[in-house]
Chains A and B, each alone.
Chain A
Amino acid sequence: GENVEQHPSTLSVQEGDSAVIKCTYSDSASNYFPWYKQELGKRPQLIIDIRSNVGEKKDQRIAVTLNKTAKHFSLHITETQPEDSAVYFCAASYYGQNFVFGPGTRLSVLP
């Protein structure tokens, strides 16, 4: 079955710097890759996603890149702000089925 790894497990950056979180997946059939942000005590919220027919997707300060050959995808946050501090989860899915989540990255943006 699918296995998703995520690195780093914790990440601290200075406000205004960029943050990058990387995930790798094992099943080449996976074709949908969402990223979720979970603030303390809250539910996970979808922040961006990408399908396998696209190499990059951007939404304001957030971008996701996908390398199908290497089976990895990354979340990029530019100009980080304290409100970006949260746990970020990546996931891999096959046509929206059998979502497998990474273990999460705790991002701290230091003012």
Chain B
Amino acid sequence: GAGVSQSPSNKVTEKGKDVELRCDPISGHTALYWYRQSLGQGLEFLIYFQGNSAPDKSGLPSDRFSAERTGGSVSTLTIQRTQQEDSAVYLCASSLDISGRRALRYEQYFGPGTRLTVT
């Protein structure tokens, strides 16, 4: 089946503009994660959604960052008033089910990422 998809694949924007990044998780996956990866660096956790529970926003770096997940599927990460330091690859990942401690599958599958460049 289809994997995690993200759009756009590349986004160039001017400093101060708002951007929206989209993630389509694997069908049936209830958990969705956003990460940020700067060039040559590791994975910085931003936010995750699990089913209908309140999202864990503890990784969002500032109030310019927000995310939504509509209908338990597609998610949008919004960055307002972009800054040059926001330039990075934004990765989305999904996993099957973490609602119960007896879940059989915990594996995260990553999308191809959106490369954001703020000029």
Contact A101 B31 (CB under 8 A): no
Contact partner of A43 among B45, B103, B107, B110, CB < 8 A? Answer: B110
Interface code A57-101, partner B: CB below 8 Å = 1, 0 otherwise?
Answer: 000000000000000000000000000000001000101111111
From known contacts A44-B91, A46-B109, infer whether A89 and B43 are also in contact, taking CB-CB under 8 Å.
Answer: yes
B10-37 CB mask vs A (1 if < 8 Å, else 0) is 0000000000000000000001010100
Nearest-neighbour CB distance to chain A for B101, whole angstroms, equals 5
Q: Place the interface of chain A in its size category.
A: 20 to 34
Q: Which residue of B lies closest to A44 (CB)?
A: B110
B110, closest chain A residue (CB): A43
Is B74 positioned at the interface, with any CB of A under 8 Å from its CB? no
What distance in Å separates the Cβ of B89 from its nearest Cβ neighbour in chain A? 9
In the complex, what distance in Å separates the CA atom of A89 from the CA atom of B101? 24
Contact of B106 among A32, A42, A102, A104 (CB under 8 A): A32
User: Known contacts A96-B31, A97-B50: does B110 contact A49 (CB below 8 Å)?
Assistant: no
Interface size on B, residues (CB 8 A): 24
Interface centre among B35, B43, B101 (most CB of A within 10 A): B43
Contact indicator B42/A101 (Cβ below 8 Å): yes
The answer on a CB contact under 8 Å between B91 and A43 is yes
A108 to chain B, nearest CB (A): 14
- Inside 8 A of B103's CB, which chain A residues have their CB? 95-96
Contact with B along A20-60 (1 / 0, CB 8 A): 00000000000010101000001111100101000000000
- Pick the contact of A96: B35, B41, B98, B110 (CB < 8 A): B98
Set of chain A residues within 8 Å of B108, measured between Cβ atoms: 34, 46, 96, 99
23 pairs from A and B in contact (CB 8 Å cutoff):
A32-B106, A34-B106, A34-B107, A36-B110, A42-B112, A43-B91, A43-B111, A43-B112, A44-B110, A46-B107, A49-B107, A51-B106, A95-B103, A96-B103, A97-B98, A98-B56, A100-B45, A101-B42, A101-B43, A101-B45, A103-B41, A103-B42, A104-B41
